């Protein structure tokens, strides 16, 4: 509670900061010599309110509320509203939207408006406040999250595309040939080694490391192969270029090599780890994601520093190593000896337990790698690059602290396939820039030390790509939440993986000849290629997947919350249970750690039934929950003795291991088996009782009832309406034998209803026309008797002004009839008016019988006729 109270206090304080902060804006914008306080007080006086002067420690919102109340309808209030923001604007909105974005709004109040704005608000400056440290936190909305994810994905795709471009450049035959021409002859023998091992690569990497330097962090916007060629010529360039050159060299020497890139993508979640945003330091130049992530550190201290200390050139390391010793408590000279922190011992023990429990042996290589870890430089050492060639008068933005911390993050390196490693071969990490070999275990730590999160490590070859992050991370559970959803990523990589797989496996390399200095690459595709491709790729996949099994157990309980492999009982939800409770992989703070696969989801019988499953007989609930429900409470009050009520107060949950396929009831003698409510729950077709069908036709229940066929309403789900969830019904369930009868009857009934409806409409139309014509006749008679010379009557077409005449004439047939009648009436009336005083004498000419009477057609000698329906 204390913490909560404190946070509330802080909130008030923040409000005060807002006021003061805006006062600062006013101060900034009110450059015309106006005092900061005087106008404010003047306005306060004009309002006659004591709220005028803000008093430190008084809630600003209260002040503003009072202010609004007092200024309602007043001119000052209108000024306030008109200059700052509408007076009707909710102050909460103002808090949320306006105060936070100081720079944007500051400009809004410049000029003549500023004074009026100041008049409308009461502030007091607190010079002791440090506004630069004001931190306004806003919870990310769903939209923010979606946007962040989209940006993350786009950035990822851009970096993938970039990697492919670089990879393609590594295959450039000219660059490869040029590189080969530089390599000493004795090193070229490397290509002849049948069973290549990491160790055999040492001389080559050493040579490369001593000849090529990283001198820039960001590349110019230049076509990459050209930039690479220039770097080759100059023997220095960017990280990307030098790493790509190393890959090109390996490929030129007929080694199977990949260009590997750590994709430093913008965070997946909004507002997370903003310091790591690759483009943040670019001073808003909005070109970050398309450039090297370390672009913002272009012009850090140009003091010439020796290149990265290679493991293989250890004599260079001493001095820097000493610096390291003092600067990085976790590292020692080339030793990277981890500090023995609390929990490390437990970690080691758990690691062993996990390994034994998962029955996976740590390969000798892993042990060897661990052993060789001691020979790698620290992440900080990795960060050293040569910057002496940078112009001291660079106009590039000065590096930020955050950006600077990213210097030296391992972003690009190579992987060389060493067939001599293991019995099946192995991809070996080769960082020729830093002279590192087999240092995959170090990459994560080095990246972390340089504030670069290791989330995606992608290997490029053959214009394809493959995610090899697993190889470089030790704690996948930490990375996984920061990666994009797996299906999407897999889908993106699938075609690229195929390309990569084709390029890196299955080629048999013949001994090359080096005639007249020109390297002849002879690669003969083996007839077994496809088999090897599949095997090699799958083996690597297996290797990467297997790493998950010897991932160490986290030492903190929190890490088990969403750990993909391990689970603690305490983090289970109420609908989860551990089953079976073995093996125990280890302990965390005394709590047993289980496999995630042992976490079972529990559901009620009803829920399982919806999935076409039912609980086996004599199975006890895996878990029983107490239901705290209003209705149950009420029920308990009403009927304390009922056992049903007692059981209704709990929820019995069952696990998947207690289930069997749903055995549905059978319809017998045309009777549909129903539930307690006299209905059938049709969650899916699986839930339909045997021998029944679901007929989804409107009002078919009425027909079933009429035909005395047994049926049950089909409840297909629920919808929330009027504050409660109500069942949704769709059609009925009847026995299969009645299906055809019902459908036929339904069709027949439908036809009958349509006919009935049509006849009814016709009768209605006729009736209305009769009314119309009757009124016309009456009108005509009246005209004849009393107003035959009225100006608007003679010779005029009678228009259909009757309200009834326009209704029910929607069909085309009716429309035609109407038009015909109009003509008829027009002719008749016109004719009759020509006869002046003619009085119609109707003679019955036609009589036809109807259902409820007869239709009589009467015609006058003048040609005017009417139809009269006699009932």
Partner DNA sequence: CTGCATCAGGTGTCTTTGAACCCA
Partner DNA sequence: TTGGGTTCTTTGACACCTGATGCA
Binding site for DNA (CB under 7 A): 1-4, 6-7, 10, 137, 139-142, 269, 271, 342, 554-559, 561-562, 573-575, 589, 607, 628-631, 675, 677, 679, 681, 699, 702, 705, 715, 717-718, 720-727
Q: How far is the CB of 464 from DNA (least distance, A)?
A: 33
Question: With the C-alpha atoms ordered 565, 568, 571, 574, is the resulting torsion angle positive or negative?
Answer: positive
The candidate with the shortest Cα–Cα distance to 827, out of 785, 800, 798, is: 798
**Please, are residues 623 and 576 in contact by the beta-carbon 8 Å criterion?**
no
If the CB atoms of residues 628 and 848 are measured against DNA, the closer one turns out to be 628
CA-to-CA distance for 559 and 454, rounded, in angstroms? 18
Q: How far is the CB of 478 from DNA (least distance, A)?
A: 8
If the CB atoms of residues 438 and 713 are measured against DNA, the closer one turns out to be 713
CA-to-CA distance for 427 and 459, rounded, in angstroms? 11
**Please, are residues 614 and 608 in contact by the beta-carbon 8 Å criterion?**
yes
CA-to-CA distance for 281 and 298, rounded, in angstroms? 10
If the CB atoms of residues 467 and 681 are measured against DNA, the closer one turns out to be 681
CA-to-CA distance for 435 and 730, rounded, in angstroms? 71
If the CB atoms of residues 717 and 853 are measured against DNA, the closer one turns out to be 717
If the CB atoms of residues 137 and 340 are measured against DNA, the closer one turns out to be 137
Tokens of 825: 């009436």
Q: How far is the CB of 725 from DNA (least distance, A)?
A: 2
If the CB atoms of residues 198 and 554 are measured against DNA, the closer one turns out to be 554
Task: Kindly give the pairing relationship between strand 566-568 and strand 576-578.
Answer: unpaired
If the CB atoms of residues 56 and 722 are measured against DNA, the closer one turns out to be 722
If the CB atoms of residues 269 and 694 are measured against DNA, the closer one turns out to be 269
CA-to-CA distance for 771 and 768, rounded, in angstroms? 5
Tokens of 632: 């149950």
If the CB atoms of residues 558 and 823 are measured against DNA, the closer one turns out to be 558
Bridge partner residues of 867 (DSSP): 857
Q: How far is the CB of 699 from DNA (least distance, A)?
A: 6
Q: How far is the CB of 631 from DNA (least distance, A)?
A: 6
Nearest 5°: the CA angle 579, 583, 588 is 100
Question: For the CA atoms of 465, 471, 477, 479, what is the dihedral angle to 10 degrees?
Answer: -50
Q: How far is the CB of 353 from DNA (least distance, A)?
A: 18
Q: How far is the CB of 558 from DNA (least distance, A)?
A: 3
CA-to-CA distance for 178 and 661, rounded, in angstroms? 69
Q: How far is the CB of 638 from DNA (least distance, A)?
A: 13
Nearest 5°: the CA angle 26, 32, 36 is 40
CA-to-CA distance for 107 and 98, rounded, in angstroms? 12
If the CB atoms of residues 307 and 713 are measured against DNA, the closer one turns out to be 713
Task: Kindly give the pairing relationship between strand 724-735 and strand 213-216.
Answer: unpaired
- Please give the span between the terminal C-alpha atoms of the chain, in angstroms, as a whole number: 87
Q: How far is the CB of 137 from DNA (least distance, A)?
A: 4
CA-to-CA distance for 125 and 205, rounded, in angstroms? 63
Q: How far is the CB of 670 from DNA (least distance, A)?
A: 20
Q: Residue 755: phi, psi to the nearest 5?
A: -60, -45
If the CB atoms of residues 572 and 800 are measured against DNA, the closer one turns out to be 572
Q: Residue 258: phi, psi to the nearest 5?
A: -120, 150
Q: How far is the CB of 485 from DNA (least distance, A)?
A: 12
CA-to-CA distance for 51 and 62, rounded, in angstroms? 9
Q: How far is the CB of 271 from DNA (least distance, A)?
A: 6
Q: Residue 654: phi, psi to the nearest 5?
A: -130, 150
If the CB atoms of residues 10 and 97 are measured against DNA, the closer one turns out to be 10
If the CB atoms of residues 133 and 721 are measured against DNA, the closer one turns out to be 721
Q: Residue ranges of the alpha helices (H) in 450-528?
A: 469-472, 476-479, 486-504
Tokens of 33: 């010599």
Question: With the C-alpha atoms ordered 688, 694, 699, 701, is the resulting torsion angle positive or negative?
Answer: negative
If the CB atoms of residues 154 and 702 are measured against DNA, the closer one turns out to be 702
Tokens of 487: 């299906």
Q: How far is the CB of 646 from DNA (least distance, A)?
A: 17
CA-to-CA distance for 848 and 252, rounded, in angstroms? 104
Q: How many Å separate Cα 581 from the centre of its chain? A: 35
Tell me the residue ranges of DSSP E strands in 43-115: none
CA-to-CA distance for 692 and 670, rounded, in angstroms? 9
Q: How far is the CB of 292 from DNA (least distance, A)?
A: 24
If the CB atoms of residues 117 and 472 are measured against DNA, the closer one turns out to be 472
The candidate with the shortest Cα–Cα distance to 24, out of 135, 138, 128, 137, is: 128
Q: How far is the CB of 702 from DNA (least distance, A)?
A: 7
Angle between helices 812-834 and 739-786 (to 10 degrees): 20
Q: How far is the CB of 525 from DNA (least distance, A)?
A: 48
- Write the DSSP assignment of 561-578 as a string of letters: SS-SSEEEGGG--TTEEE
**Please, are residues 533 and 523 in contact by the beta-carbon 8 Å criterion?**
no
Q: How far is the CB of 614 from DNA (least distance, A)?
A: 16
The candidate with the shortest Cα–Cα distance to 595, out of 606, 579, 607, 608, is: 579
If the CB atoms of residues 516 and 722 are measured against DNA, the closer one turns out to be 722
**CB half-sphere exposure, 367, CA atoms < 13 A:** 5
Considering only CA atoms, give the Rg of the chain: 43
If the CB atoms of residues 42 and 280 are measured against DNA, the closer one turns out to be 280
**Please, are residues 610 and 683 in contact by the beta-carbon 8 Å criterion?**
yes
If the CB atoms of residues 641 and 719 are measured against DNA, the closer one turns out to be 719
Q: How far is the CB of 387 from DNA (least distance, A)?
A: 24
């Amino acid at each position: 509670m204390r913490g909560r109270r404190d946070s509330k206090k802080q909130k008030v304080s923040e409000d005060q900061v807002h006021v003061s902060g805006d006062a600062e804006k006013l101060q900034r914008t009110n450059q015309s010599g106006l005092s900061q306080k005087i106008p404010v007080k003047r306005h306060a006086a004009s309002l006659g309110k004591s709220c005028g002067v803000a008093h430190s420690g008084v809630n600003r919102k209260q002040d503003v509320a009072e202010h609004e109340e007092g200024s309602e309808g007043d001119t000052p209030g209108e000024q306030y509203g008109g200059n700052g923001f509408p007076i009707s604007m909710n102050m909460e909105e103002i808090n949320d939207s306006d105060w936070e974005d100081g720079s944007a709004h500051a400009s809004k109040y410049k000029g003549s408006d500023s004074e009026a704005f100041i008049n409308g608000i009461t502030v007091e400056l607190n010079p002791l406040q440090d506004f630069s440290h004001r931190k306004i936190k806003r919870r990310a909305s769903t939209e923010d999250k979606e946007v962040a994810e989209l940006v993350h994905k786009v950035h990822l795709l851009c970096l993938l595309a970039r990697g492919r471009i670089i990879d393609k450049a590594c295959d450039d035959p000219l660059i490869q040939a040029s590189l080969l021409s530089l390599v000493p002859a004795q090193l070229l023998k490397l290509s002849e080694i049948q069973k290549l091992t990491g160790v055999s690569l040492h001389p080559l990497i050493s040579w490369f490391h001593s000849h090529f330097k990283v001198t820039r962090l960001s590349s110019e916007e230049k076509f990459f192969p050209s930039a690479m060629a220039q770097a080759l010529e100059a023997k220095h360039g960017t990280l990307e270029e030098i790493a790509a050159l190393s890959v090109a060299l390996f490929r030129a020497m007929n080694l199977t090599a990949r260009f590997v890139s750590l994709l430093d993508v913008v965070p997946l979640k909004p507002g997370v780890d903003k310091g790591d945003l690759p483009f943040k330091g670019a001073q808003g130049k909005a070109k970050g994601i398309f450039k090297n992530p370390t672009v913002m550190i272009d012009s850090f201290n140009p003091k010439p520093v020796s290149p990265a200390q290679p493991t293989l050139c250890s004599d260079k390391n001493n001095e820097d190593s000493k610096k390291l010793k003092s600067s990085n408590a976790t590292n020692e000279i080339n030793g990277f000896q981890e500090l023995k922190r609390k929990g490390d011992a437990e970690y080691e023990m758990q690691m062993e337990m996990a390994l034994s429990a998962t029955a996976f042996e740590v390969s000798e290589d892993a042990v060897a790698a661990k052993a060789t870890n001691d020979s790698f430089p620290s992440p900080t050492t990795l960060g050293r690059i040569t910057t002496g060639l940078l112009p001291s008068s660079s106009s590039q933005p000065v590096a930020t602290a955050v950006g600077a911390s990213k210097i030296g993050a391992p972003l690009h390196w190579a992987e060389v396939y060493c067939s001599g490693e293991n019995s099946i071969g192995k991809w070996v990490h080769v960082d020729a820039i830093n002279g590192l070999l087999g240092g995959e275990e170090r990459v994560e730590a080095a990246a972390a030390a340089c504030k670069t999160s290791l989330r995606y490590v992608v290997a490029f070859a053959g214009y394809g790509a493959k995610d090899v992050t697993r190889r470089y991370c030790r704690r996948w559970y930490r990375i996984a939440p920061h990666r994009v959803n797996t299906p999407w990523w897999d889908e993106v990589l699938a075609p690229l993986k195929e390309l990569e797989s084709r390029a890196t496996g299955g080629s048999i390399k013949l001994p090359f000849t080096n005639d007249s200095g020109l390297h002849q690459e002879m690669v003969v595709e083996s007839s077994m290629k496809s088999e090897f491709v599949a095997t090699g790729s799958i083996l690597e996949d297996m290797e990467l997947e297997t790493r998950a099994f010897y991932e160490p157990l986290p030492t903190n309980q929190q890490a088990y919350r969403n750990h993909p492999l391990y689970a603690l009982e305490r983090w289970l939800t109420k609908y989860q249970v551990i089953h079976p409770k073995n093996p125990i992989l280890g302990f965390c703070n005394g709590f047993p750690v289980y496999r995630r696969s042992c976490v079972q989801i529990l559901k009620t019988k009803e829920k399982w039934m919806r999935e076409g499953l039912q609980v086996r007989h004599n199975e006890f609930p895996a878990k029983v929950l107490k239901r705290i429900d209003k209705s149950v409470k009420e029920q308990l009050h009403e009927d304390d003795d009922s056992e049903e009520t007692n059981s209704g107060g709990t929820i019995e949950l069952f696990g998947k291991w207690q289930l069997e396929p749903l055995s549905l009831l059978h319809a017998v003698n045309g009777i549909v088996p129903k539930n307690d409510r006299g209905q059938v729950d049709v969650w899916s077709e699986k839930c339909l009782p045997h021998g029944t069908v679901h007929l989804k036709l409107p009002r078919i229940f009425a027909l079933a009832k009429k035909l005395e066929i047994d049926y049950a309403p089909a409840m297909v789900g629920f919808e929330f309406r009027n504050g409660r969830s109500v069942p949704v019904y769709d059609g009925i369930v009847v026995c299969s034998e009645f299906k055809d009868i019902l459908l036929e009857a339904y069709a027949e009934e439908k036809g009958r209803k349509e006919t009935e409806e049509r006849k009814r409409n016709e009768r209605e139309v006729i009736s209305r026309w009769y009314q119309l014509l009757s009124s016309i006749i009456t009108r005509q008679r009246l005209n004849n008797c009393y107003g035959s010379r009225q100006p608007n009557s003679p010779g005029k077409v009678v228009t259909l002004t009757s309200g009834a005449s326009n209704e029910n004439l929607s069909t085309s047939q009716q429309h035609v009839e109407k038009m015909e009648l109009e003509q008829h009436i027009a002719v008749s009336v016109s004719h009759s008016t020509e006869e002046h005083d003619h009085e119609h004498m109707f003679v019955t000419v036609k009589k036809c019988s109807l259902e409820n009477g007869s239709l009589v057609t009467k015609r006058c000698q003048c040609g005017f006729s009417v139809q009269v329906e006699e009932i």
